[in-house]
Amino acid sequence: MSRITPLTGFPEWLPRERLVEQQILDVLRETFELHGFSSIETRAVEPVDFLLRKGEIDKEVYGVRRIQADESDADQMALHFDMTVPFSRYVLENAGKLEFPFRRYQIQKAWRGERPQFGRFREFLQADADIIGRGELPTHFDAEVVLLIADIFSRLDIGSFVIRVNNRKVAEGFYRGLGIADTAGVLRAIDKIDKIGDRVREQLPDEVGDEQADKIMALAKIRTSDLSFGERVRALGVEHPLLDEGLAELEAVMQTAIAAAPQGVVLADLSIARGLDYYTGTVYETNLEGFESLGSVCSGGRYDELASDGKNTYPGVGVSVGVSRVMAVLLRDGIADVTRGVPTCVLLAVGDEAQRAESNALASSLRSRGISVEVSPSAAKFGKQIKYADRRQIPFVWFTQDDGTHQVKDIRSGDQVDADPATWMPPEADLRPRLSHPHKENS
């Protein structure tokens, strides 16, 4: 067999790690549904021209073509780099069958041709939730998304987090008030402030003068956990109707967050821009405290013009959780684990190979009641079968006695008791693997 060449940027988790990921996905699904979102799935590929119509991401998109493709097939399809653009297409195609405002969540793989590094992958799992309207979508939905983010990370319980909120209208209105034409260029520069700090000043468009740059940098450094950001922006002496509109929307979102989200987790941060051009209003980024260098693990915002069929416009607001990015931190630093490394709750011991058919029938009976069961792979001595269960972290071993009665052994405590196949249930905590937090248990 030829030597396998590893591919970087395409994570493949070991079984125990995959169980951690599945537990996280269960929390995400439950939280999305508690907030009224319905699940959908879109195709993996989209037309290239559709994917590239918004934002500067063309260098990162993976094209798809048949190996034996002719010229007519070239460069027509590409793997989606996020869920929002495919979702906009889905809405346009199915608008007549949907009820608006439409609330959907979507947990799927996405692909970007980024340079692989810790927490950044070429293939990654995202969990998105969006609310989309027909014609209009009130801004109170922007605040609902903040509460959704806060609920997700509170339920995941993987550490302290901060949700940073801004409004693109604030930044764009401010830049227009300064007389700057290339507002998109300024936004793209400011979007890098977390990575390169004050050096973003050097990347501002050439038209920006020193006095304008001073005010742009001053705006980007405003961060408050209350409503005082409005006064601080106005104190910079810049005026524009779009700026006023953005401040009003941001104040409304922050008012809801202050009243309903856990104290101190939401921050008005006027440096948040989001690099994709389809965002038009509120924008969000979420960071895990202590892992700021990882960047945002949950981001999104308002997009008023992404989906339109020429007659109707479908504005939306949503957020994306970078599941693979979160996993990278949890696994590297031992922040999350599972209570056991396999789904199996019970190992059925086999005393004789002639009894294997009866053992499989018993396993089916237990499984019908929601108990995960594995039949022992061999009829070795019971001591060896118990050791097999211990290595696999299976908590219970089931024995069928010669007289047809049954006993079950908890191999952690050594307790062995009589059991009725029709009624026996393990403790709720042992029924299936659960997410655990070693960093808390060891503190």
Residue ranges for the known binding site for L-histidine are 82-84, 112, 126, 130, 274, 278-279
Helices (H) and strands (E) in the chain, counts: 15, 19
Going by C-alpha positions, the residue among 180, 199, 179 that lies closest to residue 189 is 199
Q: Tokens for 298?
A: 């949950």
What is the rounded CA–CA span in Å between residue 22 and residue 434? Answer: 10
The sign of the CA dihedral 13, 18, 20, 21 is: positive
| Cβ atoms 146, 261 nearer than 8 A | yes
Place of tokens 């490394």: 341
CA angle at residue 179 from 174 to 181, to 5 degrees? 95
Cβ-based neighbours of 424, under 8 Å, separated by 6 or more: 406, 408
CA–CA dist 147, 262 (Å, integer): 9
Dihedral pair phi/psi, residue 263, rounded to 5° = -60, 130
Tokens representing residue 430 in the block:
């042992």
Binding residues: 82-84, 112, 126, 130, 274, 278-279
Rounded distance, CA 254 to CA 163, Å?
11
